[in-house]
Chains A and B, each alone.
Chain A
């Protein structure tokens, strides 16, 4: 195993590896396999069956004795999770989606052996999905084998570290990151350079760098994908941050719910240690740094900085008031610089490619790109990385391929339980930190959940509050009691028992909680309610005054009705009704006894003639 003693060793490894994977890079002179079969091995595609494809491919390679010619590369996420499992054949960037083992036979014969791509299986959505993207944090996801440090190095990996250790003082690094305008990608958007500066200024014999990989916002999975697809980019950035701030150790706090990411990260750390990129006297420059992984245990609040650190210390993850800031008093009482996974993943590229390049991407106050996890009622669910300032319309219609089933776009929710929604009429808003905040939402970690006309906004607000009530740590009363009271009101409203005064009370409670809660979880908990009330007041009023749920979601307000004209009196509905609420016969039309009906909807799904209607 090689070891890296100087920055030049990195160049040598890069050169050797590029030769070995040269066909993938489009070189005409190379040594390794001619064809690289890139198969996504991330959580999404693994559960869509990419493991089977790998086994099958291994069999084919063995059968035809093609081991020298064809290489299997298990990569991170390509982003187009909706169409998994995905195989990309290199050279040529040919992407096959929803590949079955039978399809693989065809790809093997036609493309791999015959040299002709199988048109039928090539993704239709790929071009539009990737066209508007600019991949910095995700740049290696899908391009390299994340379990091979050499491949990371082949794509400029650890070059930034070499440059930093050899050519830059810690202060230079901090200045560069400050000037880049890189802002935290984990929620608040705090300038990373300023945080590093505060860490560097702190006087202490021990300091820590910490990576927040808790990714608690449901609907966001970019941090997982980065760690699964390109773990070294985060490790490299943490070492650089350590050098800049004078820290000797890093922690990665990662969710236990992400077993594949934990595994890949562990492998990557071991490889970096073997190469001497972690440990004592890195590249002979007298700087030492190591990284330790700590697993979370399923508490959303532990994504909050102070709670995270308290959890690393082995306690209940209850936030504490600030100041002191973490850069003064963090993990085990020592100054700690905390950044999010995606924030770190941007750092090496900023150093390698320089300020001019980075500053040319994004908007005035939000530089660079942001990764969004688009999901919900949208065709191309998956991960996309776009320049800041891209508008929602482009995200949803160009990249996301629009709403399935010809339905109407209603709103997009960003910022998770701390965020809010952007209604259809604001679809042309450019997305950056400040525009989202001014709309009453926030960037958050980048989960973007698309909702259509069949989503009830009151129900969504209730959903988020259920989440906060569940996840509130219980330390401060405004959050513990206040959110519970808000939830109770929303439950009343969705059950058709709301009164107009409830709406005012919601607003009042929201304000008290925003002002009084101890940490960001409580302070932002009312946001989903306030923003849906702001943009969808008429839906709230329909629930409260007319006792109707326009989207047909809130069960207790539903009525199932049999349309006499369409009903063929077959009696299937009556047979299937679990509570015997339907009666009728060949002679008398079938009807539903609303008193008995439990609104399970079975009759509607069973009716062969679509004669049963859900009536809001």
Chain B
């Protein structure tokens, strides 16, 4: 990443911190925004938030690691999230997850070497009527079968080619 971009992101982060300074219970909203700027929460970012909000880094870290939406690891450009909620599980989301693991050669929580895909599982995104469901970034795919997975990955790989 070029340093210009870094500076820009940091400016955005500082603005977020500034805007939330007087808010009660600001930490979680700030972490949400920081993650949407950086894509994840690197240590330096947590440190800057701690300083800005005048709270211990340990507290920022404690909160960031408690909630599953926050990630301390870099994620892929395309974040695949397989719903393992009850409705999806009953409809075979376990097989869908396995298919992704097989096809991408990564485990849940990992990212492919080229940085393109990361794989996660979550508990219900509220589209249970379409189970089994996955999301890729903000796109929801429903009523899937194992057979659909290759085409979906191919589509995203195609967009990069």
Contacts and interface: CB of A to CB of B under 8 A. Distances in A.
A342 to B, nearest CB: 14
B105 interface: no
A312 interface: yes
Contacts of A373: 87, 128-129
B56 interface: no
Nearest to B55: A314
A218 B124 contact: yes
A382 B123 contact: no
A107 interface: no
Interface in A301-343: 311-317, 332
Contacts of A295: 28-29, 32
B76 to A, nearest CB: 18
B62 interface: yes
Given A43-B125, A376-B90, A381-B128, A314 B25 contact: yes
B78 to A, nearest CB: 16
Contact of A449 (B24, B25, B87, B140): B87
Given A43-B127, A314-B27, A375-B129, A299 B91 contact: no
B69 A314 contact: no
Contact of B28 (A46, A297, A375, A413): A297
Listed residue (B24, B128, B133) with the most chain A CB atoms within 10 angstroms of its CB:
B128
B140 A416 contact: no
B97 interface: no
B85 A383 contact: no
Contact of B85 (A219, A298, A312, A314): A219
Interface string B135-157: 00011111100000000000000
B10 to A, nearest CB: 22
Interface in A374-390: 375-377, 381-383
A455 B123 contact: no
A35 B15 CA distance: 47
Given A257-B122, A297-B28, A218 B86 contact: yes
Interface residues of A, number: 58
Nearest to B25: A314
B58 to A, nearest CB: 11
Contact of B126 (A84, A257, A316, A464): A257
A447 interface: yes
B46 interface: no
Contacts of A413: 86
Listed residue (B67, B68, B70, B87) with the most chain A CB atoms within 10 angstroms of its CB:
B87
B32 A297 contact: yes
Contacts of A315: 27, 59, 63
A332 B25 contact: yes
B51 to A, nearest CB: 16
B130 A218 contact: no
A312 B25 CA distance: 6
Nearest to A555: B94
B66 A316 contact: yes
A377 B90 contact: yes
B64 to A, nearest CB: 9
B26 interface: yes
Given A298-B69, A449-B86, A314 B129 contact: no
Contact of A447 (B66, B86, B130): B86
B100 to A, nearest CB: 15
Contacts of A616: none
A219 B127 contact: no
A216 interface: yes
A360 interface: no
Nearest to A301: B66
7 contacts: A47-B139, A82-B129, A221-B128, A221-B129, A257-B122, A295-B29, A376-B91
Interface of B: 24-29, 31-32, 59, 62-63, 66-70, 84-91, 122-131, 133, 138-143
